[in-house]
C-alpha cells in the first residue's frame, strides 16, 4: 500500500476544453501526491458507472461549471453528496465561474496542486422544484439567450463567445412578463418604471450562489456560496437604450446601482409568467409557467487553498 489518498479524476470527454495536454497536466500533478484513477465520461450514465466503480475514491472534477454541475448531480443521485466528502475541482472549462468565486487556480497543474493541499470549504447549492441541483447560478431571460448564442460559438471563440453571445441576444430581446418572489414576497422596486404589483417586463433574473456567470461577469458581486442565501438580481431594463446601458454596467459590476435593477437575498425564489429561457450552470432549458429554487445550506464541500 502506498499510503497515498485515492482519487477519481472525472474528465468530460465531450467538453471542448478537455485537450490532452490539460488532462495530462492534471493527472501528473495529482499523481505527485495521490493514487489516481481516471474516468472519461460523456453523459449521466457514464458518470453513474464511474462513481459506482470507485466508491471509496475522492472525486476530482476536471472541467468547468457544467462538468461540476454534472458530477455533483451524479453524487446526489448516488447518495454521496455530503459536506464530509469534499470534491476537488481542477478548472478546465470555458467559464470556470464557481472556481473563480472560490479563488481556485485556472491552470490545470496549479489546480492539481491546490487539490492535494486544499482544505474543505462547505458550500450551499440550489435545488429546483424537481429536485435538480444548481451549484453556481441559474438565470432566466436575456442571460440564457446569450448563453445559447455563446454555446453555438464556443468551439470557435472560446471564452470570447460569452460577450459575443450577449451582444447578439441583447439586440433583440425586449423582456419577459415575469413575476419574481423571494421568500414569499413579490420583488418590487421604488425606482421609476417598476410596477407596484411586481408584474412587468423583465430583461433578466439571476438566482446566484456564486458571484459570476459567463466566464467572470459579476452578476451578483456580493454573493457568497456558503452564507445560506441566494443573491437575486432582477433587471427591468427592457428599452433599447436601457439594455445597452445595463450591458455596459454589467461588465464592471455597477449594474447593481441602476434604478432598473433590484438586488435581494433569500432562501427561496420563484418566477412565474413564462415561458422564459433558463440557464442553470450552463445547462439550457425553459420555465414554462412557473419555477422555483431553494437554498440548501452547506450541502457539499470543495477543496480550496488554505
Same domain? For 79 and 147 the reply is no
Same domain? For 93 and 169 the reply is no
Same domain? For 54 and 176 the reply is no
pLDDT at position 142 is 85
Same domain? For 108 and 149 the reply is no
Same domain? For 150 and 293 the reply is yes
Q: Is the pTM of this model over 0.85?
A: yes
Same domain? For 79 and 146 the reply is no
Neighbours of 53 (CB within 10 A): 11
Q: Is residue 65 part of a domain?
A: yes
Same domain? For 80 and 193 the reply is no
Q: Is residue 122 part of a domain?
A: no
Q: What is the DSSP letter of 213?
A: B
pLDDT at position 111 is 97
Q: Is residue 91 part of a domain?
A: yes
Same domain? For 286 and 144 the reply is yes
Q: Is residue 1 part of a domain?
A: no
| Rounded-to-integer distance, Cα 274 and Cα 276, Å | 5
* Domain end residue (candidates: 58, 85, 117): 117
Q: What is the CATH number of the domain that holds 190?
A: 2.60.200.40
Q: What is the CATH number of the domain that holds 63?
A: 3.40.50.10330
- Give me the number of domains the chain comprises: 2
Q: Is residue 11 part of a domain?
A: yes
* Domain end residue (candidates: 56, 86, 117): 117
Structural domain containing residue 189? 137-298
pLDDT per residue as tens, the chain (306 positions): 457 999 999 998 765 445 678 899 999 999 999 999 999 999 999 999 999 999 999 999 999 999 999 999 999 999 999 999 999 999 988 789 999 999 999 999 999 999 999 999 999 999 999 999 999 999 999 878 877 665 654 555 455 444 434 444 444 556 888 999 999 999 876 655 566 555 668 889 999 999 999 888 899 999 999 999 999 999 988 888 888 888 888 888 899 999 989 999 999 999 999 799 999 998 999 999 999 999 999 999 999 998
Q: Is residue 125 part of a domain?
A: no
Q: Is residue 132 part of a domain?
A: no
Same domain? For 141 and 288 the reply is yes
* Neighbouring residues of 124: CB distance < 8 A, sequence distance ≥ 6: 209, 225, 226, 227, 228, 295, 296, 297, 298, 299
Same domain? For 17 and 49 the reply is yes
Q: Is residue 131 part of a domain?
A: no
pLDDT at position 201 is 84
| Strands 6-12 and 58-63, bridge-based pairing | parallel
| Rounded-to-integer distance, Cα 83 and Cα 158, Å | 33
Q: Interhelix angle for 108-117 vs 20-31, to 10°?
A: 30
| Rounded-to-integer distance, Cα 294 and Cα 128, Å | 7
Same domain? For 85 and 186 the reply is no
Same domain? For 55 and 141 the reply is no
* Domain end residue (candidates: 83, 117, 151): 117
8 A C-beta contact, residue 306 and residue 119: yes
Amino acid at each position: 500500500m502506498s499510503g497515498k489518498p485515492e482519487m477519481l479524476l472525472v474528465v468530460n470527454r465531450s467538453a471542448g476544453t478537455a485537450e490532452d495536454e490539460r488532462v495530462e497536466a492534471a493527472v501528473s500533478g495529482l499523481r505527485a501526491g495521490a493514487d489516481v484513477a481516471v474516468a472519461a465520461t460523456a453523459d449521466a450514465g457514464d458518470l453513474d458507472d464511474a462513481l459506482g466503480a470507485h466508491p471509496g475514491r475522492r472525486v476530482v472534477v476536471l472541467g468547468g461549471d457544467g462538468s461540476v454541475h454534472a458530477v455533483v448531480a451524479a453524487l446526489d443521485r448516488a447518495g454521496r453528496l455530503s459536506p464530509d466528502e469534499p470534491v476537488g475541482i481542477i478548472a478546465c472549462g470555458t467559464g470556470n465561474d464557481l472556481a473563480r468565486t472560490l479563488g481556485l487556480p485556472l491552470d490545470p497543474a496549479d489546480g492539481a496542486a491546490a487539490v492535494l493541499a486544499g482544505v474543505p470549504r462547505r458550500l450551499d447549492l440550489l435545488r429546483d422544484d424537481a429536485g435538480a441541483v444548481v451549484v453556481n447560478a441559474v438565470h432566466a431571460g436575456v442571460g440564457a439567450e446569450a448563453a445559447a448564442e455563446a454555446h453555438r460559438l464556443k468551439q470557435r471563440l472560446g471564452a470570447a463567445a460569452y460577450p459575443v453571445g450577449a451582444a447578439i441576444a441583447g439586440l433583440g430581446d425586449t423582456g419577459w412578463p415575469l413575476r419574481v418572489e423571494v421568500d414569499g414576497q413579490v420583488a418590487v422596486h421604488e425606482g421609476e418604471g417598476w410596477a407596484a404589483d411586481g408584474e412587468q417586463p423583465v430583461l433578466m433574473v439571476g438566482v446566484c450562489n456564486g458571484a459570476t456567470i459567463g466566464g467572470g461577469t459579476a452578476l451578483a458581486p456580493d454573493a457568497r456560496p456558503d452564507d445560506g442565501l441566494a443573491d437575486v438580481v432582477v433587471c427591468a431594463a427592457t428599452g433599447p437604450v436601457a439594455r445597452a446601458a445595463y450591458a455596459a454596467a454589467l461588465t464592471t459590476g455597477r449594474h447593481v446601482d441602476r434604478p432598473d435593477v433590484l438586488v435581494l437575498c433569500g432562501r427561496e425564489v420563484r418566477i412565474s409568467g413564462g415561458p422564459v429561457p433558463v440557464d442553470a450552470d450552463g445547462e439550457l432549458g425553459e420555465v414554462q409557467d412557473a419555477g422555483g429554487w431553494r437554498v440548501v445550506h452547506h450541502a457539499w464541500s470543495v477543496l480550496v487553498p488554505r
